[in-house]
Structure 1
Amino acid sequence: MISKFITFDDLLKSEMNEIFKNQVWEITKLVPKGRVTSYGAIAKAVGFPNHSRHVGKAMGGCPKDVPAHRVISSSGNLSVPEFQERLEAEGIEVENFRIKNFKSLFWNPLTEL
């Protein structure tokens, strides 16, 4: 008999959800001030390269000590406009909700850890 196929969404509803979220948050805590990374880069770093949206969901409920404002879309656009002020306080220039010099500020956890 074939058991039910388990999807990634099923895992997120289980105890794996807590493990995944904690991994996402721990990587995010490592992003240096004045730098940014993407949801996709974090997804790759925690072993789920095709699940950047799930990283976004995990960031939505993160603890206050997690610098969620440093995680943006891979195009350099802010997903949460309210993060602009926090990024600018770290010296990051933002124009029209887009990071200026995104490529030079990008922090890749796979190559910089």
Structure 2
Amino acid sequence: MRPFTERAVAIIRSIPPGKVMTYGQIATLAGSPRGARQVVRILHSMSKKHRLPWHRVINAEGKISLQEEEFRTMQMLLLQGEGVEVIGGKSINLSIYQFHPQPAMHPDSEDCF
């Protein structure tokens, strides 16, 4: 795995139940501020293999951006099951539910982003 991918996977794994992060937020923390689409790719190709909480990742507007109704509904139900209020079946209030991780202080730390 490439360093960006490893960091992104670690960040996604760190999102606690009941919280969300945006694609761009994860990309920035992983070291590539313009890498939101790479985060989408990582979630699409690695969520199952790495058991990532893919449902906790939303777009910068605080919305579920999945196009397929089945997956959009699944994401909404999973978030609601964790106590996240999903307004109109698609919007999440980022000021309430957005997770802002505190990076580890030591760059060699396993938990460091």
> Which TM bucket (shorter chain)?
0.7 to 0.9
The alignment's TM-score, normalised by the length of structure 2, stands at: 0.75
Alignment of 1:22-37 (within 5 A): 22-37=6-21
Gaps of 5+ in 1: 1-17
Paired residue for 1:108, among 85, 100, 103?
100
Structure number with greater Rg is 1
The alignment's TM-score, normalised by the length of structure 1, stands at: 0.75
CA RMSD, Structure 1 to Structure 2 (Å): 1.4
Check whether the contact 1:28–1:66 (CA below 8 A) recurs between aligned residues: yes
Distance 1:56 1:63, change over 3 A: closer
| Identical positions, percent | 31
Cα distance in structure 2, aligned partners of 1:106 and 1:48: 19
The alignment covers a number of residue pairs equal to: 93
Gaps of 5+ in 2: 67-71, 104-113
Check whether the contact 1:62–1:68 (CA below 8 A) recurs between aligned residues: no
The reply on whether 1:85 has 2:71 as its aligned counterpart is: no
